[in-house]
Amino acid sequence: MSQIKNNDKKTRGAVLEFFRRLHFYIGLFVGPFIFVAALTGTLYVFSTQIESRLYAHELTTQPAGEAHSLADQISAARAYAGEDTRIYAVRPAPGRTDTTRVQFVDPVLGSSESRAVFVDPYSLEIRGDLTVYGSSGSLPLRKWIDQVHRGLLLGDTGRLYSELAASWMWVAAVGGVALWWLGRPKRRLKKAQGRMAASRRLHITLGLFLLAGLLMFSATGLTWSQWAGGNIDKMRSAFNWLTPQVRTTLDTHAVSPAPADPHAEHHMSMAGMVMPSAEDNTWQQVLASARRAGIDAPKVEIRGPKSEGKAWTVAEAQARWPSQVDVVAIDPRDMRIVDRVYFDQYPLAAKLTRWGIDFHMGLLFGLANQLLLTAFGIGVCVMILLGYRMWWLRRPTAPADNVASSLLHAWLRLPMRWRIGSLLVTSALGWCLPVMGASLLAFLLIDVARWQQQKRQVSQLA
């Protein structure tokens, strides 16, 4: 019996040492990336309010009488941008004090970018001309903050930093909880004193309180990542967890297309304003058809067909709870609804993904969501700084003090079943999360080099 207890104690000690070394390596090498992600993410949380104030002239107006038709507003934007410029999307004014956003295709802009012309619905004055980014319609400042958070302004190469942070954050969180659980005393002892003990208590407390957030942000961050995100999409597709997509293919023989007005370009108002063309009127008719089909969110985005034989789409863009992200596809020849996808029809996994992403961006619950994310981001930064403080306070002062304290040595001390199990888990994770696999290999190479160097230093001193 005593032999069994000794073996259990030895195994417990080996497992504890392994988790300790792994947690240390994650904190040492990945901690700075998690810190930057948390800090820039906290800055992004309030970017919508900053954006609203910074671009108030472009985004808002003072109501003056009745608003012009959407077709008139689009015509005004087209006259400003150039008659030959192709419209990418239109976001009608969601409220009486908001402007309408007409987005044009601009070949000089980058991927997912478009040129937005902001129109006063009442006077048809052009209130601004800015570049917008992504499906969220981020303006330049929010786009800059988003790009810093996502990739440190380094493009696809920089995205490796955020994927590295998201890949390891959940491991650090779970490993930290395992360390606390395995290392806690079995009986109540007198509370330890000193700087090291105080830092450790606060580090553990923050880790336990932030655990759910660390897991959630790690998961949602991975869905946006470059390499792991592709694998996650494949898994979601295999289990039918993808967000349903509206069908836009038209029956080209069903209805003859309505003839365009051959004199549309010559129609002028008494004031010299360009009158709506047939296409400009179509945008308004498509929106009216979508409203009749149940698209009732104030914020919507209308998109023209991507190619010949495709339908127009109108999508709700209300990220706040309750989510309004319904989409309809409309045949512009007779304004018939071709297909519709309502949020209520989403699979549960797709709904959770939608809610998780909106919560991650601080949009789901408004100000409460933003305050919670701010507290989380600051808490993560403080927890990481406390981890570095603990490392500094107990750092080895001589080469001989840390020879055995390496990740490889700790792994070799594990029982055979633990080593085999850890290899299987590591192989699976490395395949699913390639950045984690590559970084773990780098950790081990550094670990082996460090171990060999310390052994040489000890032998020279001896």
Model pLDDT, residue 187 = 62
Tell me which of 290, 316, 345 is where a domain ends.
345
393 and 436 belong to one structural domain: yes
Determine, yes or no, domain membership for 354: no
pLDDT truncated to tens, each residue of the chain (462 aa)? 555 556 667 788 888 888 998 999 999 999 999 999 999 999 999 999 999 999 999 999 999 989 999 999 999 999 999 988 999 999 999 999 999 999 999 999 988 899 999 999 999 999 999 999 988 889 999 999 999 999 999 988 999 999 999 999 999 999 999 999 887 776 665 666 788 889 999 999 999 999 999 999 999 999 989 899 999 999 988 888 889 999 999 986 555 444 444 333 333 332 334 556 667 899 999 999 999 999 999 999 999 998 889 999 999 999 999 999 999 999 999 999 999 999 998 999 999 999 999 999 999 999 999 999 999 999 999 999 999 999 888 876 655 555 546 788 888 889 999 999 999 999 999 999 999 999 999 988 888 888 777 777 767 766
Residue 189 vs residues 185, 186, 207: alpha-carbon distances, Å: 7, 9, 22
Tell me: do 105 and 159 sit in the same domain. Answer: no
Per-residue model confidence (pLDDT) at position 276 = 65
**Is residue 402 in some structural domain?**
yes
- If asked whether residues 262 and 224 sit together in one domain, one would say no
Q: How far apart are CA 391 and CA 394, in angstroms?
A: 5
Could you tell me if residue 44 is inside a domain? yes
In a domain, 3, yes or no: no
Q: Are residues 390 and 462 in the same domain?
A: yes
- Is 4 inside any structural domain? no
Q: HEC states along the chain?
A: CHHHHHHHHHHHHHHHHHHHHHHHHHHHHHHHHHHHHHHHHHHHHCHHHHHHHHCHHHHECCCCCCCCCHHHHHHHHHHHHCCCCCEEEEECCCCCCECEEEEECCCCCCCCEEEEEEECCCCCCEEEEEEEECCCCECHHHHHHHHHHHHCCCHHHHHHHHHHHHHHHHHHHHHHHHHHHHHCCCCCCCCCCCHHHHHHHHHHHHHHHCHHHHHHHHHHHHHHCCCHHHHHHHHHHHCCCCCCCCCCECCCCCCCCCCCCCCHHHCECCCCCECCCHHHHHHHHHHHHHHHCCCCCCCEEEECCCCCCECEEEEECECCCCCECCEEEEECCCCEEEEEECHHHCCHHHHHHHHHHHHHCCCCCHHHHHHHHHHHHHHHHHHHHHHHHHHHHCCCCCHHHCCCCCHHHHHHCCCHHHHHHHHHHHHHHHHHCHHHHHHHHHHHHHHHHHHHHHHHHHHHHC
Single residue among 310, 345, 380 that ends a domain in this structure = 345
**Tokens 């919560």 sit on residue:** 359
What domain count does the chain have?
A: 2
Shared-domain flag, residues 366 and 455:
yes
Q: How far is CA 158 from the centre of its chain?
A: 15
Residue 252: the pLDDT is 62
- Prior bond to 332 cis, omega within 30? no
pLDDT confidence of residue 83: 84
- Strand partners for 339: 329
Residues 226 and 258 in one domain: no
Q: Tell which of 296, 316, 345 closes a domain.
A: 345
CB 315 within 8 A of CB 284: no
> Which positions ≥6 away from 320 have C-beta within 8 Å?
358, 363, 364, 365, 366
- Please give the pLDDT value at position 279: 77
Check whether residue 158 and residue 218 sit in a common domain: yes
Name the pTM for this structure.
Answer: 0.86
Query: Same structural domain for residues 273 and 310?
Result: yes
Say how far apart CA 252 and CA 249 lie, in whole Å: 9
Assess if residue 408 is contained within a domain: yes
* Furthest-apart CA atoms within the chain: distance in Å: 101
Asked whether residue 209 falls in the same domain as residue 331, the answer is no
Given this model, what pLDDT does residue 140 score? 95
pLDDT (0 to 100) of residue 449: 85
Q: What pLDDT is attached to residue 45?
A: 93
Give the pLDDT score at 5.
56
Same domain as 176, residue 123: no
The pLDDT of residue 399: 54
* Structural domain boundaries enclosing 129: 61-136+246-345
Residues 388, 284, single domain; the answer is no
Residue 352 lies in a domain: no
Task: Tell whether 239 and 253 lie within a shared domain.
Answer: no
Predicted pLDDT at 124: 97
Query: Quick check: 95 and 63 in contact, CB under 8 A?
Result: no
Q: Is residue 350 part of a domain?
A: no
Find where tokens 């512009």 sit: 332
